Amino acid sequence: MKTEELESLGKPYRIFAEFLEDDALRQFTDAMRLDCVVKGALMPDAHSGYTLPIGAVVAVDGIVFPSFVGYDIGCGMCALPTTFEAGEVKEKAKAIFDGIYKAVPVGFSHNQKNTDWDYSGLPRTAKMQEIFDKNGLRQIGSLGGGNHFAEVGADETGKVWVVIHSGSRGIGHAAASHYMRLASGDGKAREGHFGFDVNETNGIDYIADLGFCLELALENRREIMRRIESVIAANCAGFGDWDALINRNHNHAELKDGLWIHRKGATHAESGMMGVIPGNMRDGSFIVRGKGNADALWSSSHGAGRVLGRKEAQRTLNMEQFTQAMSGVVALVTAETLDESPFAYKSIYDIIESQVQYGMIEKVCHIRPIINIKG
């Protein structure tokens, strides 16, 4: 991994990834070349994406870059501890699995009617309202596809958790596309180093609508969580501890100490801040506590990171290994979800341990899945 050009820029940066493709390093270096980018970090799960690598964090002076946040604005994790008994959940797992798929639209599906959400007090532009009016309320409570998931699992003490990974759905994608078109200046939603001055109209508007999409993504995860809690409660005794809900998004930009911290596939991890880092369908998720590592720009990984792209995974992995790996988990184990096989990802155990060693996070608990829901 050649970092000579990065070194020659004279800007502070850290690469926490042990294995990194050349393309991801090139993308990171290209971003660090920009005069407005003053500091950067690559998380242990970093891999190539578009414009900026997935797992990259950059501190920017006076400019916001829609492409550095990405299309799924506010995509992130929620984890809810509950009082359900793990044994009873395992006993009723198939019924709960079927009930969740009935209650929560997945993939490209959304609800057939609006979900209630009072967003009247949230700042937003007229364009954001126009985008949301199309079917925004019908998308709240829908999971999406790809690596988005819902899980019911238990930690080392037997406590049952519900874990959600989802974002702002088509609304966030439409908003991001709109601002990428504006930023590129040619009417095309081009992925490149096109940004807005935060003190000018487009920058002010993007920041407002970014905030709206972050709230939308959180409400989407809350609604999914409410529905899953209801399904479990219809089969088992117990309830969710909503006062202890953890929410961390990993696609956003925030102002800190006068700089705009852009996180693209990276979890906010200030000192004492609770977070959720998922692994894969088999290995579940870790609840972690941030340690406020300044070299990591107060961030941690957002998952294990892929070692195989989706097409490569579909081409090279086999169903027999996938099926064996998922033994004991009630999940959608089919040819359609083969690209989400555990073998398509880096080891979540190695990723977590490296971050503990680097002083980015501390482990709180490990949630192993009983039920996994995919789009």
Other CB atoms within a 10 A radius of the CB of residue 36 amount to 17
Under the banding of pLDDT at 50, 70 and 90, the label for residue 189 is low
> What does the pLDDT read at residue 1?
56
CA–CA dist 74, 277 (Å, integer)? 15
CB-side exposure of 116: number of CA atoms within 13 Å? 1
pLDDT in tens, 14-37: 999 988 999 999 999 999 999 999
Q: How confident is the model at residue 192 (pLDDT cuts 50, 70, 90)?
A: confident
Q: What is the mean pLDDT of residues 318-326?
A: 96
Distance, CA of 36 to CA of 62 (rounded, Å): 7
What average pLDDT is seen over the chain? 96
Total residue length of the chain: 375
Q: Please, are residues 328 and 284 in contact by the beta-carbon 8 Å criterion?
A: no
- The DSSP bridge pattern shows strands 76-85 and 159-166 to be antiparallel
- φ/ψ of 257, rounded to 5, equals 55, 40
**188 three-class SS:** coil
Helix (H, G, I), strand (E, B) or coil at 229: helix
Instruction: Retrieve residue 162's tokens.
Output: 């519900």
Report strand pairing: 37-50 vs 13-15.
parallel
What percentage of the chain reaches a pLDDT higher than 70?
A: 99
Instruction: Please write the tens of the pLDDT for every residue from 125-135.
Output: 999 999 999 99
Where does the pLDDT of residue 277 fall: very low under 50, low under 70, confident under 90, or very high at 90 and above?
Answer: very high
Please, what's the b/e burial string for 59-95 (b: 16 or more CB within 10 A of its CB; e: otherwise)?
A: bbeebbbbbbbbbbbbbbbbbbbbebbbebbbebbee
Residue 331 confidence (pLDDT) above 60: yes
Beta bridge partners of residue 37, listed in sequence order: 60
- Token pair for 46: 């970093």
Instruction: Give the predicted TM-score (pTM) of the model.
Output: 0.95
pLDDT of residue 185: 87
- pLDDT given for residue 297 in this prediction: 98
Whole-number pLDDT of residue 2: 74
Q: What average pLDDT does this structure show over 29-53?
A: 96
**82-94 mean pLDDT:** 98
User: In the chain, pLDDT over 90 holds for what percent of residues?
Assistant: 94
Q: Sign of torsion, CA 178 184 187 188?
A: negative
Predicted pLDDT at 283: 97
Amino acid, single-letter form, for residue 256: K
Q: What is the rounded (10 degree) CA torsion for 137, 141, 145, 149? A: 160
Q: Which helix (H) or strand (E) holds 161?
A: strand 159-166
pLDDT exceeds 60 at position 341? yes
Q: What is the pLDDT of residues 117-171, one digit of tens each?
A: 999 999 999 999 999 999 999 999 999 999 999 999 999 999 999 999 999 999 9
